Amino acid sequence: MPLISPEEAAHFENMIYLPMVLIILERDRALFEKGSFKLKKPYIELVDGAIKQVQKELKETKIHMRKHHMKMLRGTGDDTFTEYIFYHGGYEDHRRYLNLRLRNRVEELMRIYLALSYKEL
């Protein structure tokens, strides 16, 4: 049996990916604000909706992690890999993520949250 269950690993991964998604969406929102778009409002509304969804899920993840005494720290990193350390149930699990995998997953999540936001408009 793994040290950390797949269900708990999903919460840890949310703590990796969701803050990255949030940072990118907030930066993109600022670009839409400053950009020379003819009609900025639809873009900003779409990104704002996605930001709200991500913030909600991140908040739920933080509450779950606090409630279950879970902690995550970013370890060492280089041009290829980034290490994260997961603490849960007395265990310490070191996991290395390929930076390209991190980037691709963030892109995938952005598509999901933008699509959710679009459906709510």
**pTM assigned to the model:** 0.93
- Inter-residue contact 97 to 80 (CB < 8 Å): no
The long-range contacts involving 62-68, CB below 8 angstroms and separated by at least 24 positions, are 62/15, 64/11, 65/11, 65/12, 65/15, 68/8, 68/11
Q: What is the pLDDT of residues 91-121, one digit of tens each?
A: 899 999 999 999 999 999 999 999 999 999 8
Q: How far apart are CA 104 and CA 61, in angstroms?
A: 21
Q: What is the pLDDT of residues 49-95, one digit of tens each?
A: 999 999 999 999 999 999 999 999 999 999 999 999 999 988 899 99
| Cβ count near 88 (within 10 Å) | 20
Q: Using 50, 70 and 90 to split pLDDT, how confident is the model at 37?
A: confident
Domain locations in the chain as residue ranges:
6-120
Q: How far apart are CA 119 and CA 105, in angstroms?
A: 21
Taking residues 9-27, report their average pLDDT: 98
